[in-house]
C-alpha cells in the first residue's frame, strides 16, 4: 500500500499556503524551521510532486502546489 501524507504534514502545508514563508509557518506550527522544511519535503516525496519552489530569495507555491491546495480544501469541505 502506498504511504499517505501525515495529518501534521497536511496541516502544516495549509499553514504554509496562508503565510507563504517557512519561518512564519514553522512558528505558527510550533516547530523549528528545519523540522517544518523536512515535513514539506516529505509531503512532496509522498505525493511525487513539487509543491513549493524554494530559492535564496524566498519560497512560493508551484502551480502544482496551488492545485493540490485547492483540491485538498475542496475535499475537506465536502
- In this predicted structure, the answer to whether residue 2 has a pLDDT above a threshold of 80 is no
| Domain ranges within the chain, ordered by starting residue | 7-77
1 pLDDT band, cuts 50/70/90, is: low
State the CATH architecture for 7-77: Orthogonal Bundle (1.10)
65: exposed, middle or buried (C-beta count within 10 Å: 0-12, 13-18, 19+)? buried
pLDDT at 69: 96
Collapsed DSSP state (helix, strand, coil) of residue 77 = helix
The structure's pTM equals 0.91
**Interval 53-75: pLDDT, tens:** 999 999 999 999 999 999 988 88
In degrees rounded to 5, what are phi and psi of residue 45? -65, -40
Cell numbers for 42, please give them: 516529505
- % the chain with pLDDT above 70: 99
Amino acid at each position: 500500500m502506498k504511504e499517505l501524507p501525515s495529518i501534521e504534514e497536511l496541516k502544516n502545508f495549509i499553514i504554509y499556503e496562508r503565510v507563504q514563508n517557512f519561518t512564519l509557518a514553522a512558528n505558527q506550527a510550533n516547530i523549528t524551521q528545519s523540522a517544518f522544511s523536512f515535513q514539506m519535503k516529505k509531503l512532496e516525496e509522498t505525493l511525487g510532486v513539487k509543491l513549493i519552489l524554494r530559492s535564496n530569495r524566498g519560497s512560493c507555491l508551484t502551480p502544482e502546489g496551488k492545485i493540490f491546495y485547492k483540491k485538498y480544501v475542496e475535499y475537506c469541505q465536502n
